[in-house]
């Protein structure tokens, strides 16, 4: 699938794009490129850029911006280090983030009793992932694994699905404390990118790999990598799931967000604790 979506197949590629647009109701008028014929490959269409005015980013003091277009799969508190996957199914922060790690990178314990939001991206959604808050990159973890579907029915049926699938977790330091943005792979989604490392997967492996990006580059005068709220930090090359983690007492989620709520990248999905309304 990785190879097929990158083929420059002319009319066949355009037919595939038009079919997906029709079947899933993709709104190409929001894209920078609105003509299906002008995308060099199917993957270029799937990772299309949007016009800046199509997704205004929340700018209020203390606003937490939604990192993706998608649907709320679960949202709430991290109870004793465990997150809700679906009714009756839970998994741990340690398993999600891969366990262990570099002392310079906040580990799973930093998110115990914190808050989480799980956001599902369907094939119709915009597939770039953006920053919920301004953050300094502390490190990144790549956890090889399976590629189960992350559609709602599968999430309700497969125990610990998000800790069994391949994933990339980016850990940031923010004004609200540690922030983790976890990009979970899925069926046909063995290709996850970040803006600082490029294509992280594939290849997929069987051994847990931790890659930590230093606060400074080899040049002692280099600046740390700081990504402002709303800028792109990564992307999926097909649809999948993003899980956002905050530490204890950091954020309050918007009270109207519940299972099945549709969200758009850039809209406020929460506020920092103590932020003025």
**Active site members:** 69, 130, 240
Distance CA 246, CA 114 (A): 6
CA nearest 170: which of 79, 231, 121, 222? 231
Q: Can you list the pairs that 175-178 forms with residues at least 24 positions away whose Cβ atoms lie under 8 Å?
A: 175/133, 175/134, 175/272, 176/133, 176/246, 176/247, 176/250, 176/251, 176/272, 176/273, 177/110, 177/246, 177/247, 177/250, 178/106, 178/110, 178/111, 178/138, 178/245, 178/246, 178/247
């Amino acid at each position: 699938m990785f190879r097929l979506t990158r083929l420059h197949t002319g009319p066949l590629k355009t037919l595939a794009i038009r079919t997906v647009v029709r079947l899933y109701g993709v709104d190409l008028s929001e894209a920078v490129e609105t003509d299906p014929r002008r995308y060099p490959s199917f993957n270029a269409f799937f990772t299309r850029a949007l016009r800046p005015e199509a997704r205004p980013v929340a700018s209020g003091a203390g606003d937490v911006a939604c990192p993706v277009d998608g649907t709320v799969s679960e949202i709430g508190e991290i109870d004793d280090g465990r997150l809700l996957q679906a009714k009756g199914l839970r998994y741990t922060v340690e398993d999600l983030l891969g366990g262990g790690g570099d002392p310079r990178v906040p580990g799973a314990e930093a998110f115990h009793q914190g808050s989480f939001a799980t956001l599902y991206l369907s094939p119709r959604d915009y597939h770039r992932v953006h920053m919920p808050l301004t953050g300094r990159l502390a490190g990144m973890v790549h956890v090889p694994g399976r590629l189960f579907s992350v559609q709602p029915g599968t999430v309700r049926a497969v125990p610990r699905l998000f800790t069994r699938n391949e994933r990339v977790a980016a850990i940031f330091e923010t004004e609200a404390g540690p922030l983790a943005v976890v990009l979970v792979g899925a069926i046909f989604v063995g290709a996850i990118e970040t803006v600082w490392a490029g294509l992280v997967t594939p290849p997929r492996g069987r051994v847990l790999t931790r890659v930590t990006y230093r606060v400074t580059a080899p040049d002692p005068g280099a600046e740390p990598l700081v990504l402002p709220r709303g800028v792109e930090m990564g992307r999926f090359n097909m649809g999948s799931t993003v899980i956002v983690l905050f530490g204890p007492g950091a954020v309050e989620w918007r009270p109207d967000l519940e299972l099945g709520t549709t969200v758009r990248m850039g809209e406020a999905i929460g506020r920092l604790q103590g932020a003025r309304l």
